Amino acid sequence: MQHRTIGGRAVSAIGLGGMPMSIEGRPDRDRSIATIHAALDAGVTLIDTADAYHLHADEVGHNEELIAAALRSYGGDTSGVLVATKGGHLRPGDGSWTKDGRPEYLKEAVKASAKRLGVEAIGLYQFHRPDPNVPYGDSVGAIRDLLDEGVIELAGISNANPDQIREANDILGGRLVSVQNQFSPRFRSSLPELELCAQLGIAFLPWSPLGGIALARSGELGTEYAAFLEVAEAHGVSPFRVTLAWELALAPVVVPIPGASRPESVQDSAQAADLTLTDDEVARLSAAGA
């Protein structure tokens, strides 16, 4: 597995997104644990989660607890695994997603996440989504305080625009290490954020890098974006692997975090780190569907 850097810490070039194992359509616990173990076997050392990755109102932190259990039960060394979690997004249990960016809420949420993960300090904590009812600087200020107090080791943000990235980095005193935004062949509007992160040396973590759970599960990515299928056939690999390799080729700060709920999926995704695309292929894929 190739490696990239988040805040000076080396992580696998391909991470694992935990959300599909805890929301609608989630697999049973045994298969989820097997999926996480398969990721570790494949050399994945970045696992992304959030306290809001759950289905019912009474199971906040379902995914965090699942990941903690998988790490505890894994037979190998997990000391090099960076678990990234998020706070500020909530699921009241009716299928909706709400926001709470109040500093006092975030400071309580991070403590609950640390307890569920079984750690004294969270490796990477990310403000999940801007709250229109709370000044952005106030929310990020809470993350700064947590960083200063050693409650978290690294600080990131998610679903941010370029101005928010600059503001967050300023508030954090240049210590913003990651930005997690949606980015895929289908969703490319975060390209300015990716390019800004590349300029600033901040890790860019594409969520839903394969176009979303529905597209990934249906296997229609190659059908909807023919260029990805054609390049995949030329290399004898899946369109999913080509998609992740393309994202890696866009900038050295990119670390995709594809979600998975089956061991086979994460094994295929992990191999994208070893797939080298030509400059012409990257340009062709970048133009496809744009």
Active-site residue list? 53
The one-letter amino acid at 241: R
- CA dihedral over 69, 73, 74, 80, signed as positive or negative: positive
Q: What is the Cα–Cα distance from 243 to 228, expressed in whole angstroms?
A: 7
- CA dihedral over 15, 184, 232, 278, signed as positive or negative: negative
Closest CA to 93 of 64, 54, 130: 54
Coil vs helix vs strand at 230: helix
The one-letter amino acid at 226: A
With vertex at residue 152, the alpha carbon angle to CA 149 and CA 156, rounded to the nearest 5 degrees, is 120
